[in-house]
Amino acid sequence: MDEASRANWITTEDLYDQGYTAEGAEQLFGEPTVSPDGTLGWDVDWINRVEERALIPVLPFLIERLRGHHEVGEPAGDLVRLYEDLNRRAGLQDWPDPLHHHEISEQELAAKVGADDRDMLSKLYGPYSRKTVEQGSDGKDVTVRWWSRGRVDAYDKGLVKLALTGGVPD
């Protein structure tokens, strides 16, 4: 297959390298067809349309459904990585983080408590739930730690209750 044709065609093996199974690819993209030069697979534009219209919109819902189930914690993380990868490949900018409305970043927590000491944040709110690598304003990769909003809110409510009761726990 020449380079120009190869750029417009994707094989089952290519999709397997991206994390799809042969059966999963056929369920999502339909039966493979034969390219003009005889290679079995799919047109890249078709794959991109299906990923952008079917997978990207549904992944945040699936991640939300799995969130909090400890037995599927790693698969949920895999779905987050797949979501991020699909958006990156599709060239979509500023896609919504599927977990962000349930999490608070260390920068947001630091602003909330008035200190950006990572050790202090972990002492206050417990261990972070996940890390992401994002591009900083200087173009360099920055590791961002995320905490569960539920855990942060529960801790904050406990502090308020302690303050209202004079610092005496129940």
Is residue 41 pLDDT above 70, yes or no?
yes
Q: Which residues contact 112 (CB under 8 A, 6 or more apart)?
A: 104
pLDDT of residue 134: 74
Rounded Cα–Cα distance for residues 35 and 43 (Å): 8
Is residue 73 pLDDT above 60, yes or no?
no
Element (H, E) at 143: strand 141-148
Distances (CA, A) of 170 to 94, 123, 130, 165: 45, 22, 32, 9
pLDDT band at residue 86 using 50, 70 and 90 as cut-offs: confident
Comparing 21-25, 69-73, 80-84, 152-156, the range with the smallest average pLDDT is: 69-73
Rounded Cα–Cα distance for residues 66 and 56 (Å): 16
* Radius of gyration, alpha carbons of the chain: 22
pLDDT of residue 43: 92
Comparing 10-14, 50-54, 77-81, 121-125, the range with the smallest average pLDDT is: 77-81
Average pLDDT over residues 42-64: 82
pLDDT of residue 116: 73
- Return the top range by mean pLDDT from 48-52, 96-100, 142-146: 48-52
Is residue 65 pLDDT above 70, yes or no?
no
Cβ atoms of 95 and 113 closer than 8 Å: no
Is residue 56 pLDDT above 70, yes or no?
yes
* pTM beyond 0.95: no
Higher local confidence (pLDDT), 164 or 85: 85
Is residue 167 pLDDT above 70, yes or no?
no
Comparing 27-36, 49-58, 95-104, the range with the smallest average pLDDT is: 95-104
CA torsion angle 54 56 59 60 (round to 10): -130
Crossing angle of the two packed helices 106-113 and 118-125, in degrees rounded to 10: 90
